[in-house]
Amino acid sequence: MQLQENTLFANRYQLERLLGRGGFSEVWLAKDNWTHLKIALKVYAPGQGMDANGLQEFCGELANVFDLNHTNLLKPTHVDAYGEMPYLIMAYCSQGSLAGKLGKMTEDEIWHMIHDVSAGLAYLHERDVVHQDIKPDNILIDEFNNYVITDFGISTRARSTLRKSVVGGTVSGGTTAYMAPERFSRQPAPTKASDIWSFGAMVYEVIEGEVPFGEVGGGLQKGGAEIPLITKNVSDALKYTVYKMLSKETWDRPFAKDLVKWAENPSAIAIDYDLLTAEEKAAEQPRTGRETQRFDAAPEPPVAQQPVTPEPAAAYVAPPAPKKKKSLAWLWVLLALFFIGGVGGACGLFIYHQAQVNKRIEALSAEHYETCQQFNSYLREAGLENIEAYQNAKTCLLRLDEIEADKYYEGTMHVAGDKRQALKVNLREVYREVERRYQMAPEGSGAKTRNLEKLNQLGEIINDL
């Protein structure tokens, strides 16, 4: 069955207008002939349907979204299948999607959007749901001017089912222009941090009117491309937020719950100006003029002097011989030598101490930088088949704690807390995957034993953090 205007779908819904089309679905504005309400009808595998096994599995996956309830999620009200095509019924948002407001929003409106979307994402992430396809078309505006997320809860497994069932479908688990750099690696599975990067690409597009890396998406950043400048006249807080969301490394990105707080009070964001470009920082520097003296002017000619006629010298008269007094100059010289020696010694001790302090500070800073690099390297290498890398990353983290607690390291960069959180998130995701594999492995098998050993190793590392 081909979907077209003015046709009756599922013997109940009159199709009125196509609202949008994806690689494996279509969204229609329709009229419910039973309730006479306008609804949004999302049909998967339109026109061709799915095989019986795929249809049953996919509808079972869709049913999971009915347990998700939040103001900023557009929850389906019904799931069913018709003509071997699974479909969802949702409320119709007459104000359309965020795609219609690109490049047209004020900064206050953008912060409002960031707040609503991050609140919805935080709710999903707390329940270990990764959206996988954050983009303007999937952010709708309801009648109360709330921004709501749609197309959520479609798991990787459900997308895989569609890929196998839909002939010619392009089910990629995301739209390339909004896909994070790690999605282009050998382990492209989406994570919560991947949602944050997609969100950042979307906010960048809202501000600039175009996505940051074109249709290539994070693949261009993975190849070494820098984050493009935000050229529009927006606050440093908003620029900083977008740059953080678009960080190449997953652990450098904020959590969705952090973005909610940032959007509620942007003026309280602790901006790291190192993330802003040199051009942006230079534009913010106050210009102070200094008066300069000119040395190129020709010197004024000397005033001519009248010759003076010397007077005749008077006759020489010898002065009376002075009376001899006892000199105390030697005493003053001795006191001066003692004073100079004392001051010089004190200055020498101070200079030596300061040199040692500076050497200590430099050594700590160098070790801190090297330990951070080692931590990042171990975290990139860590995974299901390299649990030891997690142990090495934990060792680096403990050393970072010691360095940052050193009194001579006060006032410099403190990153141990952020890196600890990144390590915990990574460990928990891997732990859940190993636990899933352990439960699926046959009893008494080698796979069961290996996964149990990995669970114990990961559990020890997590507990030590």
CATH 1.10.510.10 for domain 98-153+172-275? yes
Helix (H, G, I), strand (E, B) or coil at 83: coil
Contact (CB, 8 A) for 195 and 134: yes
Contact (CB, 8 A) for 98 and 194: no
Please report the pLDDT score of residue 286 as a whole number.
47
User: pTM to 2 decimals?
Assistant: 0.59
CATH 3.30.200.20 for domain 8-91? yes
Please report the pLDDT score of residue 75 as a whole number.
85
Report which of 375, 382, 364 is spatially closest to residue 428, judged by C-alpha positions: 382
Give the integer Cα–Cα distance in Å for 366 and 429. Answer: 32
Mean pLDDT of successive 10-residue stretches along the chain, which has 465 residues: 88 93 84 95 84 77 79 90 89 92 95 97 91 91 93 65 54 73 84 95 97 92 92 95 95 95 95 70 44 38 45 47 56 72 65 73 78 85 85 88 77 74 85 82 81 86 83
Please report the pLDDT score of residue 192 as a whole number.
92
- Mean pLDDT rounded to a whole number for the chain: 80
* Residues facing 20 on adjacent strands: 27
| CA dihedral for 113, 143, 64, 164, sign (positive or negative) | negative
The residue type found at 98 is L
Please report the pLDDT score of residue 70 as a whole number.
93
Q: Which helix (H) or strand (E) holds 42?
A: strand 37-44
Residue in this structure with the two tokens 């809860």, named with its chain if needed: 153
End-to-end CA distance of the chain: 56
Please report the pLDDT score of residue 163 as a whole number.
61
Give the integer Cα–Cα distance in Å for 41 and 31. Answer: 9
Please report the pLDDT score of residue 308 as a whole number.
44
Question: For the chain, what are the domain ranges?
Answer: 8-91, 98-153+172-275, 338-464
Q: Is 123 exposed, middle or buried (0-12, 13-18, 19+ CB in 10 A)?
A: buried
Please report the pLDDT score of residue 345 as a whole number.
63
- Taking only the tens place, the pLDDT of each residue in 255-287 is 999 999 999 999 999 998 877 764 365 445 443
